[in-house]
Chains A and B, each alone.
Chain A
Amino acid sequence: NAGVTQTPKFQVLKTGQSMTLQCAQDMNHEYMSWYRQDPGMGLRLIHYSVGAGITDQGEVPNGYNVSRSTTEDFPLRLLSAAPSQTSVYFCASRGPLAGIYNEQFFGPGTRLTVL
């Protein structure tokens, strides 16, 4: 099992450009999520999905879109990049909500710089 994979590992964008961060998992997890991590802020939830076709906003959704057409894939789209979106982005997946101690598995992260 590859677990959670993310591409690209690094990306530099100019202000106003758009791009998609890719995330895939092979654990058949229904729940997937996107976080951003900034110094001194901890991990903050951007968007999440509880299954194919179902997505919802997290704590900091502005400027980002998601879709979930399959169980495996959960891409994150930056619509018009801004310097404030410079961050490290982590995708994660976990098992059913009923298991409150279910582990979250994280991808290796994407380091994004917006100039």
Chain B
Amino acid sequence: RKEVEQDPGPFNVPEGATVAFNCTYSNSASQSFFWYRQDCRKEPKLLMSVYSSGNEDGRFTAQLNRASQYISLLIRDSKLSDSATYLCVVNKGGYQKVTFGTGTKLQVIP
């Protein structure tokens, strides 16, 4: 089983739709969790951290479920500019213990 698994997609959704991605992780001792966004042929950039109690940033909501070992990202009112690949990142503690998922591609269509 991969350490971090994501559905590669693509998720094709119309503008204004709500879309959710999940990411599962295998190590129950993982300490911190993130969603990064990567535009085509660009570097990854932090979208948001994922805290135990869940957190929201505008149209984006992140949740952590430690019991089932997954994190989720919900995007409401999708915009064309949300089209990108979303990377799930899990930190088991220690500099070399950060694992990136392969990403979920989102395409928002007019």
Q: What does DSSP make chain A's interface, helix, strand, loop or mixed?
A: strand
Question: By the criterion CB–CB under 8 Å, are B43 and A56 in contact?
Answer: no
User: 1/0 contact trace for B84-110 toward A, CB 8 Å?
Assistant: 000100010111101111110000000
Measured CB to CB, the closest approach of chain B to A105, in angstroms, equals 8
Smallest Cβ-Cβ distance to A44: which chain B residue: B100
Question: By the criterion CB–CB under 8 Å, are B32 and A101 in contact?
Answer: yes
Task: Mark A residues whose CB is within 8 Å of B.
Answer: 31, 33, 35, 40-45, 48, 50, 56, 58-59, 90, 97, 100-101, 103-104, 106-109
Measured CB to CB, the closest approach of chain B to A6, in angstroms, equals 9
Interface pairs A-B: 7 shortest CB-CB = A106-B43, A43-B100, A42-B102, A100-B32, A42-B100, A103-B46, A101-B49
Measured CB to CB, the closest approach of chain A to B100, in angstroms, equals 4
The residue from B4, B98, B103 contacting A45, defined by CB atoms under 8 A apart:
B98
Docked CA distance A26–B100 (Å): 24
Q: Is B45 an interface residue (CB 8 A)?
A: yes
Question: By the criterion CB–CB under 8 Å, are B96 and A45 in contact?
Answer: yes
Known: A42-B103, A101-B32. A107 touches B95 (CB 8 A): no
